[in-house]
């Protein structure tokens, strides 16, 4: 049985709860800029907010929550786009002694109702486009006795904070320190790729332990001289964990909810560190390749990309770089790489990639252009990162060693098991908790192994394993990830359970596929009813056949896909795609049943 442990770097027992992170930082550096907030002034579109000012905003809202009737341990839902007000509400709920229930802004009314019912939410804070959904959910479920308060309306959160004028500082401090490290801090409902969402209870110990240990391990990345943009949903535990790490370490934070404005915001904020899912990195590389092709420099770009991968490989191996490679890299840096870094703001030292496995060659490419990618791995139930490469020790194709305070074990079946400071207390439903642990370790549901250096290598999801009719066991993730490197493919789903051969559904990226169709004069129309629409355009099939052939070349013959179908889908449908942009395999297979049957005729 494989197992690897990394000892903690920080003793957290002297901390009371998560709120200490903000209080301690405000004492140490009250005038330091903690946030940059969008402002209407065109001359200064981002307004600085100091740590002391943020603390004051948090305290005012916390007093309002107390005055309105929030008691210690009460559940408070937050449903809004990623923004400064989200951060204030999050910390204010903890200062008031509450338990935060984050809700994704795109959740359906049925999903919201299920969450507020299960968590017994007493009060909610929402954005302008979410507040009515919250109120309807409260009316349907009989919860929310203290109301749903808008972040934007004049009679919303501002009035809620004003209610707290009569609450004294002593009362606020009693509430702030009411929860200890082992008290619930938040209930996060998992996105549910293979089943119904479950409410994971994360404690103050989980957050404090993760924040302080990760900050200590990544001092080169998270420091008072750095800054970042958070555009992941703050309902996701990774974004909230990142926010707390930056806040405790003095790293400036800017929030961005409109992802279409990422490029312009990067140029203005000029971050030193970013967190992105692999799909974002794939799109950056694909956009650069397309721009080069449009300028009739496709062959030159291919040579540049190969050079970047070679440079990244040498850097990982700490090898001496040959003079010809140095010369090529210098040339391509002037032609392409410097411009790519400029698009990312020009100051990015590192990118953290999580949420899905990153193609090793893509990681090497970004290292080669001068933006190393630190790949990590974690789940909601591990309070985000469980393992991670370190800035001075990156190995592409792995997700690094267990982070400080964590242990990873590989079961006899190849499942990744986890124990440590970030591992959650359990689910709301005790039956779910009982099924989630074995010998004191959390069962992640992911397959993997530990390499000789102690690094974890992901191999796919345990529930996604396919057993064909001839008894061959296939883990589809390697093939699927290879196909998903194409900008045209948003999701690849291998099929073959109980079948004589493997096939696949390629769910097209609507933007990239639409651009392709416009370029060649084709018409791609999606079924408005929500059904998956099969695309039979011969030119598109021929183009993607090459991608499928390349993916087949990376796996054994028994793992190769013989036939595939192209489908269009509504990728904003939360019944089909999780809030973390993972495809719900069961749903896509059910909706594409007709196309699947055609693959086996």
Q: How would DSSP label each residue in 206-221? A: HHHHHHHHHHHHTTTT
What is the maximum alpha-carbon separation in the chain? 73
Phi, psi of 441 (to 5 degrees): -105, 140
- What is the radius of gyration, based on Cα positions, of the chain? 24
The answer on pLDDT for 394 being more than 90 is yes
Cα–Cα separations (whole angstroms), residue 233 to 100, 101, 237, 238, 426: 15, 14, 9, 9, 23
Give the confidence band of 583 by pLDDT, cuts at 50, 70, 90: confident
Cβ proximity of 514 and 572 under 8 Å: no
- Rounded to 10°, the helix 510-520/538-552 angle is 130
More reliable by pLDDT, 518 or 63: 63
Taken in order of first residue, the domains within the chain and their CATH numbers are: 19-179+226-271 (3.40.50.12780), 276-461 (3.40.50.12780), 465-599 (3.30.300.30)
Mean pLDDT of 534-563: 91
Structure tokens at 148: 């749903």
Mean pLDDT for 357-370 is: 94
Q: Nearest 10 degrees: CA dihedral of 590, 594, 598, 599?
A: -20
Q: Do the Cβ atoms of 341 and 347 come closer than 8 Å?
A: no
Average the pLDDT over 206-219 and give the result.
Answer: 97
Asked whether the predicted pLDDT for residue 224 surpasses 60, the reply is yes
Of 20-29, 43-52, 462-471, 544-553, the poorest mean pLDDT is in: 462-471
pLDDT by residue (tens digit) across 291-304? 999 999 999 999 99
Say yes or no to pLDDT of 282 above 80: yes
**DSSP class of 358:** P
- Distance, in Å, from the CA atom of 72 to the CA atom of 96, rounded to the nearest integer, reads 7
Note the pLDDT of residue 557.
Answer: 87
pLDDT band at 350 (very low <50, low <70, confident <90, very high): very high
Give the C-alpha separation, 278 to 266, whole Å: 18
pTM of the model: 0.88
**Which pLDDT belongs to residue 193?**
45
- Contact call for residues 145 and 49 (beta carbons, < 8 A): no
Question: Of 181, 245, 226, nearest to 25 (Cα)?
Answer: 245
Confidence check: pLDDT of 365 > 90: yes
Range list of β-strands (E), 55-163: 75-79, 99-102, 121-126, 148-150
> What pLDDT does 398 receive?
96
Which region among 139-148, 201-210, 584-593 has the lowest average model confidence (pLDDT)?
584-593
CB 337 within 8 A of CB 308: yes
Q: Which residue has the higher pLDDT, 67 or 41?
A: 67
In the numeric block, the tokens 């009739």 are attached to 296
Query: What is the pLDDT, as a whole number, of residue 485?
Result: 87
Round to whole Å and give the CA distance between 205 and 542: 53
Confidence category of residue 196, pLDDT binned at 50, 70, 90: low
Residue 250's pLDDT band (boundaries 50, 70, 90)? very high
Least confident of 78-82, 131-135, 525-529: 525-529
Reply yes or no on whether the pLDDT at 524 is more than 90: no
* SS3 label, residue 11: coil
Element (H, E) at 374: strand 373-379
Question: What average pLDDT does this structure show over 413-419?
Answer: 95
- Which two structure tokens, joined as six digits, stand for 30? 């009250």
Give tens-digit pLDDT for 460-515: 888 888 988 888 889 898 899 899 988 899 999 999 988 999 999 999 988 888 88
Range 423-445 average pLDDT: 94
SS3 291: helix
Q: How far apart are CA 87 and CA 28, in angstroms?
A: 20
Is a pLDDT exceeding 90 seen at residue 588?
A: no
The answer to whether the beta carbons of residues 80 and 125 sit under 8 Å apart is: yes
* Band of pLDDT at residue 239, cut at 50, 70 and 90: very high
- Dist. CA 494–CA 563, nearest whole Å: 10
CA dist., res. 584 & res. 586, Å (int): 6
Beta strands in 193-326 (DSSP E): 199-203, 227-230, 252-255, 273-276
Tokens standing for residue 234: 């703050």
| pLDDT of 87 higher than 90 | yes
DSSP 583: B
Q: Evaluate if residue 192 carries a pLDDT over 70.
A: no
Q: What is the mean pLDDT of the chain?
A: 92
Whole-angstrom distance, CA of residue 447 vs CA of residue 457: 9
Report whether 39 contacts 434 (CB < 8 A): no
Average pLDDT over residues 149-168: 94
Which residues lie closer than 8 Å to 344 by C-beta, 6 or more apart?
266, 274, 284, 371
Q: Do the Cβ atoms of 308 and 364 come closer than 8 Å?
A: yes
Q: Compute CA distances 113 → 120, 133, 201, whole Å.
A: 10, 9, 19
Half-sphere exposure of 180 toward its Cβ, with a 13 Å CA cutoff?
3
Average pLDDT over residues 140-156: 95
Sequence-distant (6+) residues with CB within 8 A of 565 are 503, 504, 505, 506, 534, 592, 595, 596, 598, 599
- Taking each continuous run of H as one helix and of E as one strand, the counts in the chain are 21, 28
Q: pLDDT confidence of 586, banded at 50, 70, 90?
A: confident
Q: Give the separation between CA 302 and CA 335, rounded to whole angstroms.
A: 12
């Amino acid at each position: 049985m494989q197992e690897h442990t990394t000892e903690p770097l920080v003793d957290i027992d002297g901390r009371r709860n998560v709120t200490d992170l903000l209080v301690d930082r405000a004492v140490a550096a009250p005038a330091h800029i903690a946030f940059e907030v969008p402002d209407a002034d065109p001359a200064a579109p981002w307004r600085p907010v100091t740590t002391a000012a943020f603390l004051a905003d948090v305290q005012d809202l916390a007093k309002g929550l107390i005055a309105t009737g929030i008691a210690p341990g009460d559940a408070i839902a937050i449903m809004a786009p990623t923004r400064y007000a989200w951060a204030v509400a999050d910390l204010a709920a903890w200062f008031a002694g509450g338990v935060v229930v984050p809700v994704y802004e795109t959740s359906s009314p049925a999903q919201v109702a299920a969450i507020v019912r299960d968590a017994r939410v007493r009060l909610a804070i929402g954005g302008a486009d979410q507040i009515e959904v919250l109120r309807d959910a409260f009316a349907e479920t009989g919860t929310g006795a203290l109301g749903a308060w808008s972040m934007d309306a004049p009679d919303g959160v501002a009035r809620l904070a004003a209610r707290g004028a009569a609450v004294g500082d002593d009362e606020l401090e009693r509430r702030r320190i009411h929860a200890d490290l082992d008290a619930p801090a938040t209930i996060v409902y998992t996105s549910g790729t293979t089943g119904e969402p479950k409410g994971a209870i994360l404690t103050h110990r989980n957050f404090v332990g993760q924040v302080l240990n990760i900050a200590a391990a990544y001092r080169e990345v998270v420091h008072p001289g750095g800054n970042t943009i958070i555009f992941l949903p703050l309902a996701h535990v990774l974004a909230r964990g990142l926010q707390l790490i930056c806040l405790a370490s003095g790293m400036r934070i800017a929030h961005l909810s409109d992802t279409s404005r990422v490029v312009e915001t990067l140029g203005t904020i000029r971050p030193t560190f970013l967190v992105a899912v692999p799909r974002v990195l794939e799109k950056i590389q694909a956009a650069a390749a397309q721009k080069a092709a449009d300028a009739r420099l496709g062959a030159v770009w291919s040579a540049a990309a190969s050079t970047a991968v070679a440079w990244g490989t040498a850097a990982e191996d700490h090898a001496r770089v040959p003079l010809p490679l140095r010369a090529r890299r210098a040339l391509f840096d002037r032609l392409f790489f410097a411009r790519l870094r400029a698009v990312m703001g020009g100051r990015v030292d590192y990118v953290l990639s999580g949420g899905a496995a990153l193609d090793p060659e893509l990681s090497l490419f970004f290292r080669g252009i001068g933006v190393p990618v630190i790949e990590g791995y974690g789940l909601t139930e591990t309070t985000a990162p469980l393992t991670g490469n370190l800035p001075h020790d990156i190995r592409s194709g792995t997700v690094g060693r267990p982070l400080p305070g964590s242990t990873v074990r590989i079961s006899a079946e190849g499942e990744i098991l986890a124990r440590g400071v970030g591992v959650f207390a359990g689910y709301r439903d005790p039956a779910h908790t009982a099924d989630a642990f074995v010998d004191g370790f959390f069962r992640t549901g992911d397959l993997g192994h530990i390499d000789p250096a102690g690094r974890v290598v992901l191999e796919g999801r345990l529930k996604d394993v396919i057993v064909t009719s001839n008894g061959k066991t296939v883990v589809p993730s390697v093939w699927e990830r290879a196909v998903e490197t194409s900008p045209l493919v948003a999701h690849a789903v291998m099929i073959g359970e109980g079948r004589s051969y493997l096939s696949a559904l390629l769910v097209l990226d609507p933007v990239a596929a639409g651009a392709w169709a416009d370029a060649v004069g084709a018409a791609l129309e999606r079924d408005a009813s929500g059904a998956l629409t099969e695309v039979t355009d011969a030119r598109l099939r021929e183009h993607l056949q090459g991608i499928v052939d390349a993916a087949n070349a990376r796996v054994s013959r028994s793992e190769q896909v013989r036939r595939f179908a192209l489908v269009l889908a509504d990728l904003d449908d939360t019944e089909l795609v999780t809030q973390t942009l993972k495809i719900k395999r069961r749903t896509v297979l059910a909706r594409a049943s007709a196309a699947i049957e055609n693959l086996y005729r």
